[in-house]
């Protein structure tokens, strides 16, 4: 979607919402979680619309500038400056996500603590977004978690859920393609547009190529089939996979060196007319995350992109 298509921004992502709705009642899928992600997606689109309306075209263009001479060659296009919004603006945007958070029946004490902390001190939202986005730093997240009185998982998820629509809108305004390319100047396998780790992978229907999907900004890029996107491990004996069912079109690829994993959807196993929407695939395969965790693997970065 081009940024100047104001009509598209006024509409909700109907196909994604319809596919999420279709998951309700499916065996092995948590209806509670699906409803939460539907509410969250609607909130994220409300954030994107409000952000687009609140910034002039020139301001968005400035924030979406490609790397300048101070950046290393092929460094991520977006950095913390892209999210340097004032506390009042961030608070108004975060409020658009709050209905989904408050409606979540799984809401725990640490999520309530996070809500209370940022409502009482909106200035904390700047740190929440900056330290959660891009390639999150564990040390900074731990300090922020302590300040907010909330778990690192909650801080990371909701900080990225707020950052994602902002970066997606900036990329759209700049006319950038979804194809982000790999970030050769940072961690292997990370997004060339924002530096975030991939959230999921798919094997392309036409040729079986492995396409990584950014967990934050909706970017995509090609990546080697026989390589861990998180630590660059290429030792085949330490790369493996887990399946819940041999006939499923999705599975988990694991790495023994870094103990991380990525979920994969194989489009060649889908019906010819079945569209792949990564957010829907991620929600539908929550059971694979639980399987990976039981086996001792970590995802670390949640999928909060909006498509």
**Measured distance CA(16)–CA(282) in Å, rounded:** 12
**Measured distance CA(16)–CA(22) in Å, rounded:** 10
pLDDT, position 4: 46
CB atoms within 10 A of CB 176: 18
Whole-model pTM: value is 0.88
What are the 10-residue block averages of pLDDT along the chain, 307 residues in total?
Answer: 51 90 94 95 95 69 49 65 89 93 76 90 91 88 92 93 93 65 68 92 96 94 94 95 92 97 97 94 96 95 94
pLDDT, position 49: 93
**Measured distance CA(243)–CA(238) in Å, rounded:** 17
Beta strands in 105-243 (DSSP E): 198-203, 210-214, 220-222, 239-242
pLDDT, position 57: 55
pLDDT, position 107: 64
**Measured distance CA(29)–CA(177) in Å, rounded:** 32
What size, in residues, is the chain? Answer: 307
């Amino acid at each position: 979607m081009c940024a100047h298509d104001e009509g598209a921004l006024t509409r909700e992502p109907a196909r994604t919402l319809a596919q999420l709705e279709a998951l309700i009642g499916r065996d092995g899928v948590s209806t509670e979680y699906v409803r939460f992600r539907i509410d969250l997606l609607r909130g994220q689109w409300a954030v994107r619309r409000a952000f687009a309306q609140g910034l002039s075209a020139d301001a968005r263009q400035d924030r979406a500038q490609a790397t300048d001479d101070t950046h290393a060659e092929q460094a991520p296009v977006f950095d913390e400056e892209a999210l340097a919004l004032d506390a009042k603006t961030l608070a108004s945007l975060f409020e658009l996500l709050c209905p989904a958070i408050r409606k979540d029946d799984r809401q725990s004490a640490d999520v309530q603590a996070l809500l209370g902390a940022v409502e009482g001190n909106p200035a904390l939202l700047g740190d929440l977004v900056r330290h959660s986005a891009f390639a999150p730093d564990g040390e900074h997240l731990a300090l922020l978690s302590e300040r907010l009185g909330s778990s690192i998982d909650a801080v990371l998820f909701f900080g990225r859920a707020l950052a994602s629509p902002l970066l997606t809108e900036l990329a759209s305004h700049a006319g950038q393609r979804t194809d982000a390319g790999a970030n050769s100047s940072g961690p292997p396998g990370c997004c060339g547009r924002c530096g975030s780790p991939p959230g999921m992978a798919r094997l392309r229907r036409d040729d079986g190529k492995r396409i990584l999907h950014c967990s934050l900004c909706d970017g995509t890029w090609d990546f080697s089939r026989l390589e861990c996107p998180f630590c660059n491990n290429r030792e085949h004996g330490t790369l493996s996979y887990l399946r819940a069912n041999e006939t499923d079109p999705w599975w988990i690829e694991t790495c023994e060196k870094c103990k991380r994993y990525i979920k994969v959807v194989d489009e060649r196993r889908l019906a010819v007319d079945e569209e792949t929407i990564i957010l829907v695939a991620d929600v539908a395969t929550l059971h694979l995350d639980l399987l990976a965790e039981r086996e001792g693997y970590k995802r670390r970065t949640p999928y909060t992109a909006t498509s």
